[in-house]
Amino acid sequence: MKKIELLAPAGDLEKLKIAINYGASAVYFGGEDFSLRAGAGNMTLEEIQEGVLYAHERQAKAYLALNIFPHNEDIKPIKSYLASIKDIPIDAYIISDPGVLELIRQIDPDREIHLSTQANATNYMTTNFWFKQGVKRIVLARELNLSEIREIKNQGPPEADLEAFIHGAMCIS
């Protein structure tokens, strides 16, 4: 049986360190731009670098939420942002938008990609679609019950990782 990953939100560098120190096996966070974690404090490039190093030194993973739904004017700045962070060894991007997925494929093609809960994956056909696009982990919609999650697991791609919020819609513990 696969070990369950305890993934905790890290709104800033201090919270990232606290989450790892108290047992999180992975953390997710947003940068200053392009994340739907707008009220979370978020991190500069330097803080992301420090946080990822801190996590990896403690055998924890670090995921960057890049899960906005960009408008046309956001595409060029996202490209620049991806170019500026591609050498930071984050473990995965968490995305919601197919266009952002395409940009990652162009700029940082070897990085693992997770689908954000914001993309509202509510059925096994959707998980099949995203898995075929190269998404390794699908964070399921928060409205699903255990029976629906079980059906997605049984009918979806067997190699895909599924993630579910266990405290409802809030990123709390």
Q: Closest by alpha carbon to 54, among 4, 14, 92?
A: 14
Query: Does a structural domain hold residue 81?
Result: yes
Asked if the model's pLDDT at residue 2 lies above 60, the reply is yes
Query: Does a structural domain hold residue 59?
Result: yes
Query: Does a structural domain hold residue 131?
Result: no
Identify the CATH number of the domain in which residue 52 sits. 3.20.20.70
Distance separating alpha carbons of residues 147 and 26, to the nearest angstrom: 26
- Cβ-proximal residues to 42 (8 Å cutoff; 6+ apart), any chain: 11, 12, 29, 30, 31, 32, 35
The total number of structural domains in the chain stands at 1
Band of the pLDDT at 168, cuts 50, 70, 90? low
Per-residue pLDDT reduced to its tens digit, 15-40: 999 999 999 999 999 887 776 655 55
- pTM score of the predicted model: 0.89
User: How high is the pLDDT of residue 85?
Assistant: 94
Query: Does a structural domain hold residue 155?
Result: no
Per-residue pLDDT reduced to its tens digit, 47-77: 999 999 999 999 999 999 998 899 999 999 9
The beta strand positions in 112-159, using DSSP E, are: 112-115, 137-139
